[in-house]
Amino acid sequence: MNAEAGRSTAAGRPKKSRAGIFSWMLFDWAAQPFFTVIITFIFGPYFVSRLAQDAATGQAAWGYTITVSGIIVAVLAPMLGSVADATGTRKPWIAVFALIKIITLMLLWFASPGSDLWLPAMCIVLATVAAEFSIVFNDSMMPRLVPEAEIGRISNLGWGLGYLGGLVVLFTVLLFLSGSPTDGKTLLGLEPWFGLDASQGEDARITGPFSALWYLIFILPMFLFTPDGGKGLPLKKAVKSGLVELKNTLVELKQRAGVLRFFIARMIYQDGVNGLLALGGTFAAGMFGWQTMEMGIYGILLLIVAIGGCLVASWLDAHLGSKRLVLLSLICLVTACVGIISTGPGYTLFGWVQLAPQDSGTLFGTAAEKAYILFGLLIGIAFGPVQASSRSYLARSVSPEEAGRYFGIYALSGRVTSFLAPMSVATLTLYTDSARIGMSALIVFLLVGLLMLWVTPYPATRR
């Protein structure tokens, strides 16, 4: 690690209370259900398969929705990170974006079947942007909050705690809120709470207000117990100073070739990861006709595996290092992506393996659905560690004083071209009228990012 990054001294990373660290980790618990039940497993598939007029149109519209939010985050995140360094404090920024996220999630309740797509699409864009900006500020607290030796462990444990939060929300939706469109009963055979009507899409629409309430409650400990940065410049001066710092940081990256290479590699593979998380569930919903119940149970299986993956990764990161763990995770994701794309009714691995076409009439009743779930579990194992250890990779490569601006560029590297993956999937889907061909674009992003990271130093400040 170079001299600048070496400023991460005991003074730079003061020992914090367990309550402060746990409350910082609890942010992941609060934030993850949005990505779990809104983007991936419940509302996203509802948008594609039940709100839109057909699955291909729905996947394209959803892909472009994710694209717009990615462009906004890519443009603004680095500037906001630099401004945060100048102001010193992160919590006021998180509070503003939390308000935006909560309001837009509440509005998803009005996305009833037959309504226009523009309102839920706009709400998803604003909620995603607010969520991603909040993550920038929360992540940038880590180098100052957590001892360097503990960064990888705490990062993965926080991510695992987030998946546990997503799992709890998903269980609650399926067991008590979401009825089947066929008989109106929940997974427990009960009448849905509040008389929710699945035929009106209320089984999926309720995830918006529920996620908003969950987020509101569980970010409060972070505001109460996690120490913030010291007071810096007033906002107007901080904006000017932050823009200058951002410019200087971008120039400085030319001399920090390892960090620059890490950002480029992460930019590419994170595009594939984002696309897989945003579109993998909608792809299954369109191919197998899965409704909220099937998607929810599929999500539960993935999250259980993901929690275990993060717990194991918290140990592996300390013993193997963040880079090796990210590489192993990317190999798993490439394998899983090939597997789900190659699976269809009656076959897997592009027809090399034929499967019985009969449907038993039970949950996931065809062999193809079971094969899809097996490949999906491989995604569950890897998609937590690939993101948590990427976060710790950077945190080990920068000092606490520069964390805000570098985590802003980190968000940029995860979003600057993030429109390319969903746009590639959406455009290929429309051009070929095949969701399967469209999804194949994700493999390219994952592979190219993997190869670039392979030749990147670790920590990234090494030559």
On the CB side of 298, CA atoms within 13 Å amount to 30
Cis peptide preceding 459, ω within 30 of 0? yes
Q: Are strands 353-354 and 347-348 parallel, antiparallel or unpaired?
A: antiparallel
Q: How many residues does the chain have?
A: 463
C-alpha–C-alpha distance, residues 154 and 388, integer Å: 9
Q: What H or E segment, with its residue span, contains residue 154?
A: helix 151-172
Give residue 343's pLDDT: 78
The series of mean pLDDT values per 10 residues for the chain, 463 residues long, is: 37 62 92 89 84 77 84 78 71 93 96 87 95 86 75 80 88 81 73 81 91 96 84 66 72 78 87 77 72 76 82 82 90 89 74 69 72 84 84 78 71 66 79 77 90 83 54
Closest by CA to 391, choosing from 25, 14, 2, 8, is 25
Give residue 421's pLDDT: 77
- For domain 5-454, say whether CATH 2.30.30.20 is its number: no
Exposed / middle / buried, residue 354 (Cβ in 10 Å: 0-12, 13-18, 19+): exposed
Give residue 166's pLDDT: 87
C-alpha–C-alpha distance, residues 317 and 155, integer Å: 10
| Whole-prediction pTM | 0.73
Give residue 227's pLDDT: 83
> What's the CA dihedral at 258, 259, 263, 266 to 10 degrees?
70
Where along the chain do its domains lie? 5-454
C-alpha–C-alpha distance, residues 283 and 276, integer Å: 10
Please give the DSSP secondary-structure letter assigned to residue 191.
P
Give residue 463's pLDDT: 47
Q: Where do we find the tokens 């190219």?
A: 448
Give residue 7's pLDDT: 36
Which parts of 396-457 fold into alpha helices (H)?
Answer: 403-415, 420-432, 435-439, 441-454
8 Å CB contact between 246 and 75: no
User: Which three-class secondary structure state does DSSP give residue 16?
Assistant: coil
Q: What H or E segment, with its residue span, contains residue 419?
A: none
